[in-house]
């Protein structure tokens, strides 16, 4: 399928061969135990028990794996995938490098849990400088980083990590596999929250990991089976159904972000605008070569919390919500969640509304909140 366009690949990803009388995407299989062969037991069937085995989940994994270019395992949430990776790969005495400006619960997990297990936790901003990777087992980066939207050169970092014998994992949540394919750029692993743009309907939690290393995928699969951090069949089916429109959704979100960035850049009452797709953005030089398309997420500063509240209250289309990448345009004042951001810092996730409507609405809401 790699010779086909993004839209075609999304529509067909992970679907079984057409069979007369069968649906395009088979419905969710709800099963805890499955019937076993009374003599051969689980060896005779791909499905024995629901924690390790579910055909709906496997189809979703085939789909995401096709898009990422690796073998995929899905998890109950992005956080389950990331912590599963960290706990599978790291052992007492190992060192790990994590972003200072990435999703903050990962940092909290590292300082609360990994450090207590004897893992040395090092931090670096996404754009560096990075510490020496000597003695480091795993480097995890988020690019574009959430919520600051800085970008790092994955291929260059992969070279540095591999030269020191470290693994490189990339959190691909914001970009999605249509925005960039970290495994093609030299990363050993991709982790992501599928809760965001990947599935995009704000109705489920999902995480995944992808890799071309059989050994790593096997280790993570064992981790997932023994800890039980699997998504349910209905969520897996919903996610697969939503994946088919990823190309369409991202195209509109990205076009909306471009238009909103242009409008914000022209306003004297908005500061700190970040969107990796703007040629003036510090992330643009790397993003424009490394990424295949730009995200629908941008960030800016409205000065104080009160003004952010007035902006959202005055808007007809922008709703206050955390998370991002969904069909609806949302604004999140990140400081309220504990991110190390200014009080008026807003992460705006553009939805798939009509661009003209969104631009008009944001303009009048900002005017009203002045
Ligand atoms: C970049 C990034 N990674 C991971 C996660 C965790 O994902 P989930 O909420 O699906 O557990 C998030 C959630 O916001 C995120 O933004």
Tokens of 46: 């791909």
**Bridge partners, residue 170, by sequence:** 141, 190
Angle value at C-alpha 240, between 237 and 245, nearest 5 degrees: 135
Under the banding of pLDDT at 50, 70 and 90, the label for residue 1 is confident
Q: 126-157, pLDDT tens digit by residue?
A: 999 999 999 999 999 999 999 999 999 999 99
Output the CA 105–ligand 1 centroid distance in Å: 8
Output the CA 181–ligand 1 centroid distance in Å: 18
Q: 341-367, pLDDT tens digit by residue?
A: 999 999 999 999 999 999 999 999 999
71 lines ligand 1 (CB under 6 A): no
Q: 275-312, pLDDT tens digit by residue?
A: 999 999 999 999 999 999 999 999 999 999 999 999 99
Under the banding of pLDDT at 50, 70 and 90, the label for residue 64 is very high
Q: Which residue has the tokens 């499905």?
A: 47
Angle value at C-alpha 121, between 91 and 224, nearest 5 degrees: 45
Whole-model pTM: value is: 0.98
78 lines ligand 1 (CB under 6 A): yes
142 lines ligand 1 (CB under 6 A): yes
Q: Are 62 and 13 in contact (CB under 8 A)?
A: yes
Question: Looking at residue 338, what is its pLDDT?
Answer: 84
The CA distance from 174 to 179, in Å, is 8
Q: Which residue has the tokens 């692993």?
A: 189
Residue nearest to atom 7 of ligand 1 (CA): 78
Residue nearest to atom 15 of ligand 1 (CA): 103
- In sequence order, which ranges of 164-213 are alpha helices (DSSP H)? 176-179
Output the CA 324–ligand 1 centroid distance in Å: 9
Cβ count near 52 (within 10 Å)? 16
Question: Looking at residue 17, what is its pLDDT?
Answer: 97
344 lines ligand 1 (CB under 6 A): no
77 lines ligand 1 (CB under 6 A): yes
């Amino acid at each position: 399928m790699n010779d086909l366009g993004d839209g075609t690949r999304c529509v067909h990803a992970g679907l079984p061969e057409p069979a007369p009388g069968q649906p395009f995407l088979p419905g969710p299989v709800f099963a805890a135990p499955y019937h076993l062969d009374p003599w051969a037991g689980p060896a005779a069937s791909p499905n024995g028990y629901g924690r390790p085995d579910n055909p709906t989940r496997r189809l979703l994994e085939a789909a995401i794996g096709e898009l990422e270019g690796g073998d995929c395992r899905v998890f109950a949430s992005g956080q389950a995938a990331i912590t599963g990776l960290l706990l599978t790969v790291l052992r007492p005495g190992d060192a790990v490098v994590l972003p200072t400006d990435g999703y903050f619960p990962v940092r909290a997990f590292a300082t609360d849990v990994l450090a207590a297990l004897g893992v040395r936790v090092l931090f670096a901003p996404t754009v560096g400088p990075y510490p020496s990777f000597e003695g480091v087992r795993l480097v995890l980066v988020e690019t574009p980083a959430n919520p600051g939207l800085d970008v790092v050169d994955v291929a260059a970092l992969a070279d540095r990590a591999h030269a020191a014998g470290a693994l490189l994992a990339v959190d691909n949540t914001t970009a999605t596999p249509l925005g960039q394919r970290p495994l093609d750029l030299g990363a050993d692993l991709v982790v992501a929250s599928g809760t965001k743009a990947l599935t995009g309907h704000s109705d489920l939690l999902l995480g995944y990991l992808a890799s071309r290393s059989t050994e790593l995928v096997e280790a993570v699969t064992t981790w997932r089976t023994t800890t039980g951090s699997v998504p349910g069949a209905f969520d897996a089916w919903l996610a697969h159904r939503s994946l088919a429109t990823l190309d369409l959704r991202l195209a509109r979100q990205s076009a909306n972000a471009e238009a909103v960035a242009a409008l914000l850049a022209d306003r004297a009452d908005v500061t700190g605008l970040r969107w990796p797709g703007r040629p003036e953005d510090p992330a643009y030089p790397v993003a424009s070569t490394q990424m295949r398309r730009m995200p629908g997420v941008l960030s800016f500063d409205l000065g104080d919390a009160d003004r952010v509240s007035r902006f959202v209250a005055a808007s007809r289309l922008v709703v206050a919500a955390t998370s991002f990448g969904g069909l609806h345009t949302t604004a999140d004042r990140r400081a309220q969640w504990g991110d190390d951001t200014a009080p008026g810092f807003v992460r705006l996730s553009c939805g798939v509304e009509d661009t003209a409507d969104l631009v008009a609405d944001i303009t009048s809401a900002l005017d009203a909140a002045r």
